[in-house]
Structure 1
Amino acid sequence: MATLSTYLNFDGTAEAAFNFYKSVFGGEFQTLQYIKDMPGGGSNFTEAERSRVMHVSLPIGGDSILMASDILPSVGHRLTVGNNTHINITPKDESEAKRLFDALSNGGQITMPLEKMFWGSLFGTCTDKFGIQWMINLPL
């Protein structure tokens, strides 16, 4: 069976974002590699880009893994923060739903407060301080 993972891109803030996500979800990074860790030390990239994240991964429960990297402007990468991606989390219970929602929305923006919905779920949406959109959806 396939495993679904979410991959995010950042413009130089991947490490800060993932330290934040680690504080929310707990656990340890499976991987944290920088451009300078590439063969040749990333010598083809600017000095500032060598300290950017090449790949980071953080298990967030079960088989779910959150992964990311920083873009590399010197090779033409451009980051456009859009509104077409949400990460949906189905927590184990109401207390975890509230904890995750409060932590992820701290410093960000609540789009829809965490409330019991007509379809029978505890549901809320927020955008975290890094521009990533989250949905908390707990069927009741």
Structure 2
Amino acid sequence: MKCDVYLNFDGNCEEALDFYKNVFDGAYEVVMRYSDGPPEYIVKGNEDKIMHATLSIGNDCEIKASDNFHMPVHKGNAYHVSILTDDDEQGADFFKGLSEDGEVTMPYNDVFWGGKFGSLIDQFGVQWMISSPH
């Protein structure tokens, strides 16, 4: 079994995924635009927006995402994307990258349960938790 994160954006999916690609040194596995799909999926004026994309990060992690024009995107606080890094340095790099133009909700620092931890809301409104092992 595998569990992936699937994020929805309201027109800036490609910008967000390019940002995450840079932060995590990721690679695109799939990029499908609305113009690649059946005509009934095309939203006029948004043909070049992302219908589905998969970004690989690390050895076994993927972020999947799309621009969602079929229902409004409501950003909320009911979830975080949680990343467990290989070490403190990688955690610090990811946290610094993701927090660019975002809001730090808990600085990346030593925590009482061991290791390091921090949380933030990135510039796209996505909430992240970054942890490194103890």
Same fold (TM over 0.5): yes
Decide which structure has the larger Cα Rg and report it.
Answer: 1
TM-score by length of 2: 0.94
The answer to whether the 8 Å contact 1:10/1:69 transfers is yes
Q: Which residue of 1 aligns with 2:22?
A: 23
Q: Aligned equivalents of 1:124 and 1:26: distance in 2?
A: 20
Q: How many residues align?
A: 134
**CA distance in 1 between partners of 2:129 and 2:32 (Å):** 28
Specify the SS of the correspondent of 1:124.
strand
CA distance in 2, matches of 1:27, 1:120: 27
Structure 2 counterparts to residues 28-43 of structure 1, below 5 A? 28-39=27-38, 42=39
CA contact (8 A) 1:109 1:127 kept: yes
Map of 1:50 onto structure 2? 47
TM-score, length of structure 1 as denominator length: 0.90
In structure 2, what is the Cα distance between the partners aligned to 1:78 and 1:120? 39
Give the drift of 1:45. Answer: 3.4
Question: 1:48, CA displacement in angstroms?
Answer: 1.8
TM-aligned CA deviation for residue 61 of structure 1: 1.3
More helix by percentage: 1
Residues of 1 paired with 2:66 and 2:85: CA distance? 25
SS in 2 for 1:49: coil
SS in 2 for 1:100: helix
Instruction: Report deviation, 1:28.
Output: 1.8
Is residue 2:134 matched to residue 1:119?
no
What is the distance in 2 between the residues matched to 1:20 and 1:48?
A: 23
The alignment's C-alpha RMSD in Å is 1.3
